[in-house]
Chains A and B, each alone.
Chain A
């Protein structure tokens, strides 16, 4: 396997590691961003008003039960090959953990704090933006991290139905009985997933205000367990 990584040919061209990594990141980042733009406002609004809690929670439960692999293949049968259908499927899979986590994060803001904010004259919007959201950041970030890891994982499977990404090596390696390639691809995908986890944890540490960090040190571990791929 070391020979595989040492071979310069695997670092160049359209099937080279940098290209495949770029494709993988491109698909993943696009899907998570679109997913966040849709999911976070829904979760935040529902959580702020404390309404439709069952809905916000069951989104995750249902999402967990639907095989991500099937979602990808369905997107393919409807819309054919290409990045578009893949991003559509990945976005759909990215949404549930973000909705659930941001909902829970907002409902868990201490009612006393909200009342104090109102007493200090905060309007509703300012209260959400400046009081509730900073308190909710740890759990919201846990949701984004969960989604991102699932998307990176599912993008691997997407190699089966279309083009790029590091999953190519696994799918092609398996098809060609080239187990070195299969294994090397698996190592790359695993490293990418771990790097995603670590970098988003680091981002979370930067985003959480220092005073809140002490209060909610365990929030990250309370994120919804969500794994579909």
Chain B
């Protein structure tokens, strides 16, 4: 496998390969979407209650942010490898670290979003007779939504990129195509994997921007 030259003849995309490998490529894409969706869902399920708790009891912030901040600092390949003795080569090996990363980004944004709800609004809600739980659900969380959705977009795009690294230890996803392009010294799967990965990130980002518009009709201009 000699080094290539800049101006060699190999085309970046061999369409014949692409046309015969559609099912394989779609399979990897499906896996990629699945890993993204599950790890984001897991991140939301953990970070939302934890964020609300940390907002209420500020003593919880430092330990919670510290713990997940430490996870976030651990490089993904190392984190995946740390899971292998416990979960083997399975989807769980990828999902646990990815979920941990998402929790940090979402947790920060839940706390910041809730912190930024104006004091006046809370007073008004109290004056209108809202109980604490109803106030949280109907006033504070909706007002924190912009910050939370901003976090979700960052988490989504990051996750889609990081999943490619899972293929270094054969955990699937579009990274498998990048790996194949490297191992076989064949550019087409590499380019297909890269393009689909970036396209998926962009589509997901645009969709979440759409969710933002739907969820917050009062913030259309933003």
Residues in A with CB closer than 8 Å to B101 are: 227
Q: How many residues of A contact B (CB 8 A)?
A: 47
Interface size class on chain B is 35 or more
Look across to chain A and name the residue whose beta carbon is closest to the beta carbon of B187: A77
Contacts of A21 in B (CB 8 A): none
Choose one: B4, B77, B169; the contact of A229 (CB below 8 Å). Answer: B77
Set of chain A residues within 8 Å of B31, measured between Cβ atoms: none
Interface assignment of A59: CB less than 8 Å from any CB of chain B? no
Q: B17 at interface (Cβ–Cβ under 8 A)?
A: no
A11 within 8 Å of B (CB atoms): no
Q: A170-B77, A194-B74, A229-B165 are in contact. Are A67 and B6 (CB under 8 A)?
A: no
List A residues 55-107 near B (Cβ within 8 Å).
61, 64-70, 73-74, 76-82
Q: Mark B13-27, 1 if CB is under 8 A from A, else 0.
A: 000000000000000
Closest to B198 in A: A65
Partner of B79, one of A78, A149, A174, A190: A190
A35: CB under 8 A from chain B?
A: no
**How far is it, in angstroms, between the C-alpha of A229 and the C-alpha of B151 when the chains are bound?**
18
- A194: chain B residues within 8 A (beta carbon): 70, 73-74
For A69, A161, A167, which residue has the most chain B Cβ atoms within 10 angstroms? A69
Cα of A66 to Cα of B196 in the assembled complex, Å: 10
A70 touches B197 (CB 8 A): yes
A73 to B74, CA, bound (A): 22
Q: Which residues of B contact A (CB under 8 A)?
A: 2-4, 6, 65, 70, 72-82, 84-85, 101, 104-105, 108, 151, 154, 157-158, 160-162, 164-165, 167-170, 175, 178-179, 181-182, 185, 187, 190, 193-194, 197-198, 201-202, 205
Residues of chain A whose beta carbon lies under 8 Å from any beta carbon of chain B: 61, 64-70, 73-74, 76-82, 149, 152-154, 156-157, 160-161, 167, 170-171, 173-174, 179, 182-183, 185-187, 189-190, 193-194, 197, 221, 225-229
Can you pick out 14 interface pairs between chain A and chain B where the beta carbons lie within 8 Å of each other? Answer: A73-B179, A73-B190, A80-B3, A81-B3, A157-B165, A170-B168, A182-B81, A186-B77, A186-B80, A189-B78, A190-B79, A221-B65, A227-B76, A228-B158
